[in-house]
């Protein structure tokens, strides 16, 4: 009998342990369901004010269920609490334009870019089919940017990149949407979360200009009396997503060309025997997308005698196109002596290189604040200048200034090398009095030849470096790298920093981390709660019966008897 009594507690322990273990498994399963999450980097649509008028994405925080379609079925559906995930390769631009233009409600928008448009993806891809696909996608992105940056969008808009995890989520979301029922708290699905504070205005933005100097040779030693030739390029960008605006062509190609021209003339000017009788002034300017605001400030800051000593300036812009045609844009009439001299010099060299050079004359309107080309800022101060570009027509304001589609895959290194050879050779022949002569100063395979490896290294660096001017701090690594490069090849390098003024106001929160959760429906939660509740009640009843008896369990639910207090 004693042995039987000792074995009873052991027999009771096993069910208790097994019940507890079962409960823990269920709880762990619930935790696993809640923790099913993917985290990806996303980049917010630019937010700015132009003359006090709001544009771009006006919100940053995101916390809604995912959807995948803007089709006509959404006309009767409420999408105000839905984040649409739309791959750009499948985008219906007409539908997007109408939806945004009509300001229909939406919880948020996540646009997925093909991996080829990532600045971290420097592989060239391959095949004519790939090239045609990239060309088509570039056109789609250019048009999409035009729609987004000129609209006031009252919900968060983010860009991300396709990958296996995001594509898997999107496939599940599409399956759910195919049922005709949007993902909600009652139906479950995927939830997208971006924890971000309210965007704030960028305080005290600046424009930073960097200049370097190569003094010419004068018999009396005073190079300040020599005429000057200026070579200028704007280095900052603007695009729908500031954190993705690397601008490989606009104007990364112009920066690379200027740095290589600096390197070539530095080698020439390093010896008094080959130093020219012109001073060379090189400038990397900011504010290019904003009417070349930095160029204007830089020119006005120059000593008047130096500015008046400039015979002409050559501005470099968007030279990375694979076409063999370049344009020289001028504000002064073609009959002007300097303009005629510039064009004839460039035409002579272009024929030797197999390039075609055309001349575009556009008279500036002083009363119009819009500045289409950088040379127009020189013309407004009566300094002869020209812009060399592969673009025949100037882009519209804030467009084609280094946006989503302007990356490494659409820039041709050979074209940049040819443009460098064209500009450098034309300037050198003018400086050394070799105009019209078949003199190859920067001959291939010589110590003064164009270095394609130098061009490639800088192009790859710039193609991974977003550089929207108002977001660049005064000591940004990019600015320091450009300054150092000029210091290596020129003298009297200095940085000019001025307040960014104008009608534009920018806001922060340009990038974030997107958390994608897979959530169960409320029905599932209620069912799980019912099962757990029933299980706990059963477990509790079992433990009371086995340890204290059935009568004690019943007494827990029995109404206690009232006690009457007898008074004395």
3-state secondary structure of 445: coil
Please indicate, yes or no, if residue 302 is contained in any of the structural domains. yes
What is the phi/psi pair of residue 344, to 5°? Answer: -65, -40
Residue 11 has what pLDDT? 43
Residue 122 has what pLDDT? 64
What is the phi/psi pair of residue 312, to 5°? Answer: -160, 160
Residue 314 falls in which region: left (phi positive, over 0), alpha (psi -120 to 50) or beta: beta
Residue 10 has what pLDDT? 45
- Residue 312 and residue 322: Cα distance in Å, rounded? 28
Query: 448 and 327, same structural domain?
Result: yes
Helices and strands (DSSP H and E) totals, the chain: 14, 19
Helix (H) or strand (E) holding 116: none
What length is written for the chain?
Answer: 568
Query: 43 and 180, same structural domain?
Result: yes
3-state secondary structure of 456: helix
Task: List the structure tokens of 290.
Answer: 């904003």
* 3-class SS shares of the chain: helix, strand, coil, % to 5: 40, 20, 35
- Whether the CB-CB separation of 277 and 217 falls below 8 Å is answered with yes
CATH number at residue 334: 3.40.630.10
Query: 225 and 195, same structural domain?
Result: no
Please indicate, yes or no, if residue 270 is contained in any of the structural domains. yes
Query: 110 and 65, same structural domain?
Result: yes
Query: 452 and 325, same structural domain?
Result: yes
DSSP code, position 274: T
pLDDT digit of tens for each residue in the chain (568 aa)? 444 344 444 444 455 445 555 555 555 544 444 444 789 999 999 999 999 999 999 999 999 999 988 764 445 568 889 999 999 999 999 999 999 999 889 999 999 999 988 887 766 444 444 566 778 889 999 999 999 999 999 999 999 999 999 999 999 999 888 876 665 555 568 999 999 999 999 998 999 999 999 999 987 777 888 999 999 999 999 999 999 999 999 999 999 999 999 999 999 999 999 999 999 999 999 999 999 999 999 999 999 999 999 999 999 999 998 888 999 999 999 998 889 999 999 999 999 999 999 999 999 888 888 999 999 999 999 999 999 999 999 999 999 999 999 999 899 999 999 999 999 999 999 999 988 788 899 999 999 999 999 999 999 999 999 999 999 988 899 999 999 999 999 999 999 999 998 789 999 999 999 999 988 655 656 666 777 777 887 877 777 677 766 666 677 666 666 555 444 4
Please indicate, yes or no, if residue 307 is contained in any of the structural domains. yes
- Residue 555 and residue 129: Cα distance in Å, rounded? 81
Residue 133 has what pLDDT? 77
What is the arrangement of strands in the sheet containing 228-234, beginning at the earlier edge strand? 356-361, 325-330, 385-389, 310-317, 228-234, 279-285, 206-214, 491-499
- Whether the CB-CB separation of 294 and 207 falls below 8 Å is answered with yes
What is the arrangement of strands in the sheet containing 53-57, beginning at the earlier edge strand? 152-153, 53-57, 47-50, 504-506
- Residue 270 and residue 264: Cα distance in Å, rounded? 10
Query: 546 and 485, same structural domain?
Result: no
Please indicate, yes or no, if residue 16 is contained in any of the structural domains. no
- Whether the CB-CB separation of 381 and 304 falls below 8 Å is answered with no
Q: How far is CA 383 from CA 310, 370, 427, in A?
A: 7, 18, 17
Q: Output 265-269 pairs: Cβ under 8 A, ≥24 positions apart.
A: 265/214, 265/424, 265/427, 265/428, 266/214, 266/489, 266/490, 267/447, 267/448, 268/428, 268/441, 268/448, 269/214, 269/215, 269/216
- Residue 341 and residue 347: Cα distance in Å, rounded? 10
Query: 178 and 277, same structural domain?
Result: no
Please indicate, yes or no, if residue 10 is contained in any of the structural domains. no
- Residue 62 and residue 471: Cα distance in Å, rounded? 23
- Residue 79 and residue 121: Cα distance in Å, rounded? 34
Helix (H) or strand (E) holding 351: helix 337-353
What is the phi/psi pair of residue 412, to 5°? Answer: -105, 115
- Residue 348 and residue 444: Cα distance in Å, rounded? 18
- Which pTM value belongs to this model? 0.85
Please indicate, yes or no, if residue 118 is contained in any of the structural domains. yes
Query: 189 and 119, same structural domain?
Result: yes
Residue 169 domain boundaries: 34-201+510-520
What residues pair up with 43 in beta bridges, in sequence order? 159, 511
Task: List the structure tokens of 523.
Answer: 């029905």
Residue 362's contacts (CB-CB under 8 Å, 6 or more residues apart) are 329, 330, 331, 372, 373
- Residue 254 and residue 229: Cα distance in Å, rounded? 17
Q: CA angle, 378 as apex, 373 and 383 as ends, to 5°?
A: 140
- Whether the CB-CB separation of 267 and 320 falls below 8 Å is answered with no
Look at residues 339, 260, 329 and name the one whose alpha carbon lies nearest to residue 292. 329
Residue 72 has what pLDDT? 41
Q: Please report how many Cα atoms fall inside a 13 Å half-sphere around the Cα of residue 196, on the Cβ side.
A: 26
Query: 363 and 326, same structural domain?
Result: yes
Query: 338 and 475, same structural domain?
Result: yes
Residue 500's contacts (CB-CB under 8 Å, 6 or more residues apart) are 205, 206, 207, 287, 290, 293, 469, 470
Query: 288 and 172, same structural domain?
Result: no
Query: 532 and 516, same structural domain?
Result: no
Torsion of CA 183, 184, 190, 193, to 10 degrees: 130
Q: Where are the alpha helices (DSSP H) in 240-290?
A: 252-269
Residue 7 has what pLDDT? 44
Please indicate, yes or no, if residue 218 is contained in any of the structural domains. yes
Say what angle helices 337-353 and 413-431 make with each other, to 10 degrees: 130
Bond into 251 cis (ω within 30) = yes
- Whether the CB-CB separation of 424 and 265 falls below 8 Å is answered with yes
Please indicate, yes or no, if residue 28 is contained in any of the structural domains. no
Q: Distance from CA of residue 183 to its chain's centroid? A: 30
Residue 93 has what pLDDT? 92
Q: How many domains does the chain have?
A: 3
Residue 74 has what pLDDT? 43
Residue 257 has what pLDDT? 98
């Amino acid at each position: 009998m004693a042995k039987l009594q000792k074995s009873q507690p052991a027999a009771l322990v096993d069910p208790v342990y097994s019940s507890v273990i079962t409960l823990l498994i269920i709880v762990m399963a619930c935790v696993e369901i809640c923790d099913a999450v993917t985290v990806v980097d996303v980049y917010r649509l630019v937010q700015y004010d132009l003359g006090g008028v709001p544009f771009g994405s006006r919100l940053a925080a995101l916390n809604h269920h995912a959807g995948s379609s803007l089709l006509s079925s959404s006309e009767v559906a409420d999408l105000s609490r839905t984040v649409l995930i739309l791959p750009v390769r499948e985008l219906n631009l007409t539908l997007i334009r109408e939806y945004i233009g009509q300001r229909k409600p939406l919880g948020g928008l996540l646009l997925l870019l093909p991996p080829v448009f990532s600045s971290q993806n420097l592989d060239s891809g391959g095949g004519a089919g790939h090239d045609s696909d990239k060309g088509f996608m570039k056109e789609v992105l250019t048009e999409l940017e035009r729609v987004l940056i000129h609209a006031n969008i009252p919900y968060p808009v983010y860009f991300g990149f396709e990958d296996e995890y995001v594509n898997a989520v999107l496939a599940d979301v599409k399956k759910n949407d195919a049922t005709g029922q949007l993902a909600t708290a009652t139906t479950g699905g995927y939830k997208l979360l971006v924890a971000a504070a309210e965007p704030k205005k960028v305080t005290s933005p600046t424009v930073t200009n960097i200049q370097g100097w190569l003094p010419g040779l004068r018999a009396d030693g005073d190079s300040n009396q020599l005429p000057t030739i200026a070579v200028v390029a704007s280095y900052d960008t603007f695009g729908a997503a500031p954190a993705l605006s690397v601008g490989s062509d606009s104007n990364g190609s112009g920066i690379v060309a200027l740095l290589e021209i600096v390197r070539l003339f530095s080698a020439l000017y390093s010896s008094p025997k080959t130093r020219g009788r012109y001073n060379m002034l090189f400038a990397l300017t900011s504010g290019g997308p904003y009417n070349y605001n930095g160029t204007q400030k830089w020119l006005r800051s120059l000593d008047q005698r130096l500015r008046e000593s400039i015979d002409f300036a050559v501005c470099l812009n968007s030279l990375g196109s694979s076409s063999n045609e370049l344009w020289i844009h001028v504000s002064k009439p073609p009959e002007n002596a300097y303009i005629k001299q510039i064009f004839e010099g460039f035409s002579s060299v272009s024929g030797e290189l197999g390039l075609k050079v055309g001349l575009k004359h556009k008279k500036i309107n002083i009363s119009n604040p819009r500045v289409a080309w950088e040379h127009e800022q020189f013309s407004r101060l009566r300094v002869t200048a020209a812009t060399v570009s592969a673009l025949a027509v100037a882009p519209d304001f804030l467009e084609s200034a280094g946006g989503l589609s302007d990356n490494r895959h659409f820039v041709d290194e050979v074209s940049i090398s040819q443009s460098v050879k064209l500009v450098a050779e034309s300037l050198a022949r003018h400086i050394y009095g070799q105009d019209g002569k078949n003199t190859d100063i920067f001959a291939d395979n010589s110590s003064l030849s164009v270095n394609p490896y130098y061009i490639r290294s800088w192009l790859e660096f710039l193609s991974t470096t977003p550089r929207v001017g108002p977001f660049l701090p005064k000591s940004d690594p990019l600015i320091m790298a450009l300054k150092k490069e000029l210091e290596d090849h020129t003298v009297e390098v200095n940085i000019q920093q001025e307040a960014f003024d104008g009608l534009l106001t920018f806001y922060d929160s340009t990038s974030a981390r997107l958390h994608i959760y897979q959530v169960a429906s409320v029905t599932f939660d209620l069912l799980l709660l019912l099962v757990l509740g029933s299980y706990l009640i059963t477990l509790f009843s079992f433990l009371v019966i086995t340890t204290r008896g059935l009568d004690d369990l019943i007494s827990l639910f029995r109404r206690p008897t009232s006690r009457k207090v007898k008074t004395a």
